[in-house]
Amino acid sequence: MNQRDVRSWCRVAHLTTVHHPFDPRIFHKQLASLRDAGFDAHLVAPHERTERVHGIPIHGLPRPQNRAHRLALQPRVFRTARALNAALYHIHDPELLPLAGLLKTRTGAQVVYDMHENYRSKGAMLGRFLRALERWAFRWVDHVLIAEQSYRAIVEDHAVPHTYIPNYVRPIGEEHPPPPVEIREPPTRLLYTGTLSDSRGLGTMIDLAARIRRADRPETITLVGICRYPTQRARTEKQIRRGGLGAVVDRVGWDAYVRPSAMPPHYRRADVGLALCEPHPNHVGSIPTKFYEYLHYGLPLICSDIPLWRRFVERHGCGAVVPPGDPAAVLDVLDEWQAHPERYRRCAENAREAASQYRWGPIGERFARLCRHVLPDNMPETLTTESR
């Protein structure tokens, strides 16, 4: 068997039209783990050009503006994916499942589906449709990855093989924990990372900033992430201008995606990690990835009092929970930590200690083993030797 045949047998193509090409779960965790394990890993995703980044070929697609544009891209996605002649296609969007079924029929390849979103957040009708689409595809999908334990009931009803691949932390360029830093007292630098929206606590954080400004308190809030909703961006910008909050709120990204490689300096400068989300269906059954990232940098959490989140914080003793939408309660926590700095210090130490449980390394190895297992039985042995 020649080297070209070996590559085709160990080729895995990840397909998405929804996610950013450098999405942490897709690019920096899953694809990087496959590359490191010797697979010929490719990505087909919206990107301005076709190029190789960190040894991973990205096959660029036009950047769609809405769902209709994404659906119109599917013929091009199919042609690009078909030309790769991969042994395994890894699908990240439910709307690509019919396309994946066609790829499976035409090529005989295996199909893995990655379930990492609760589609109830899309509205009742669309959410039901997407879940129905998934259930239809479970009849022929070879394996399902679930990012949250709460998704297990969805797949167990259909007896589809599935594996839990949580979104644990793999900081870019920092494979090992950062060195311990001197814990600053009192904690005043608050940080939020991730997509910004009202359901993710944007309004609550702006109200918090206004209270800080009116009371002439020392705290600042750094918001690192993109807000994809122009109406919410415009309203927030107006609030910041009218309230004179520019000295309190620092926005990084805001109307543009922030690459994971740009995140570490913001974590290192912070004292506290915020997650003041509303009790939305897409939040109540999931542990936010930002929790793991905050812990990695030794940041105590202040998060909404959602039962799953409360259990996480109490189990690790790494922060405090507050009622959703209650900025005054956040200030109460900060006042307590400032009055009793040993409590803040204990939360920071506990956060750093808990972080070791939530690192991507072992999960990446599990993911690579799974892909090896899913690949056809007649895969050549050279995958584990000369092709690495």
**How do residues 283-306 score in pLDDT, each as one tens digit?**
888 899 999 999 999 999 999 999
Which pLDDT tens digit goes with each residue over 63-93? 998 889 999 999 999 999 999 999 999 999 9
Least trusted range by pLDDT, from 154-163, 286-295, 377-386: 377-386
Q: How many CB atoms lie within 10 A of CB 202?
A: 24
Rounded to the nearest 5 degrees, what angle is found at the Cα of 124, between the Cα atoms of 16 and 321? Answer: 85
Structure tokens at 286: 């999931």
For residue 378, the model assigns a pLDDT of 47
DSSP-H helix ranges across the chain: 3-9, 32-36, 67-72, 74-84, 97-107, 124-137, 152-156, 202-214, 230-243, 264-269, 281-284, 289-296, 307-316, 327-339, 341-354, 360-374
DSSP-H helix ranges across 138-275: 152-156, 202-214, 230-243, 264-269
For residue 180, the model assigns a pLDDT of 60
Which pLDDT tens digit goes with each residue over 252-261? 999 999 998 8
Residue whose pair of structure tokens reads 């991973």 in the numeric block: 56
Over the chain, what is the mean pLDDT? 90
For residue 155, the model assigns a pLDDT of 87
CA distances from residue 223 to 37, 52, 202, 218, 255 in whole angstroms, order as listed = 35, 31, 9, 17, 12
Confidence (pTM):
0.88
Kindly state the average pLDDT of the residues 30-34.
97
For residue 40, the model assigns a pLDDT of 96
For residue 124, the model assigns a pLDDT of 64
Q: Confidence band (pLDDT; 50, 70, 90) for 6?
A: very low
Find how far residue 310's CA is from the centre of its chain: 20
Q: Could you give the 3-state DSSP secondary structure of residue 367?
A: helix
pLDDT of 8 over the 80 cut:
no
User: Which one is predicted more confidently, 344 or 122?
Assistant: 344
DSSP-H helix ranges across 85-221: 97-107, 124-137, 152-156, 202-214
For residue 380, the model assigns a pLDDT of 47
Nearest to 186 by CA among 349, 351, 292, 333: 333
264: exposed, middle or buried (Cβ count in 10 Å: 0-12, 13-18, 19+): middle
Rounded to the nearest 5 degrees, what angle is found at the Cα of 80, between the Cα atoms of 78 and 85? Answer: 90
Find how far residue 278's CA is from the centre of its chain: 18
Rounded to the nearest 5 degrees, what angle is found at the Cα of 349, between the Cα atoms of 344 and 350? Answer: 95
Q: Confidence band (pLDDT; 50, 70, 90) for 171?
A: confident
Q: Which domains are delineated in the chain?
A: 3-168+360-384 (3.40.50.2000), 189-358 (3.40.50.2000)
* % of the chain surpassing 70 pLDDT: 90
For residue 388, the model assigns a pLDDT of 33
pLDDT of 113 over the 50 cut:
yes
Q: How many helices (H) and strands (E) does the chain have?
A: 16, 14
User: Which one is predicted more confidently, 372 or 388?
Assistant: 372
pLDDT of 335 over the 70 cut:
yes
For residue 4, the model assigns a pLDDT of 42
**HSE of 301, CA atoms in CB hemisphere, 13 A:** 34
Least trusted range by pLDDT, from 142-146, 153-157, 237-241, 331-335: 153-157
For residue 387, the model assigns a pLDDT of 36
For helices 307-316 and 341-354, give the axis angle rounded to 10 degrees.
100
Distance CA 287, CA 156 (A): 21
Query: What single DSSP character describes residue 70?
Result: H
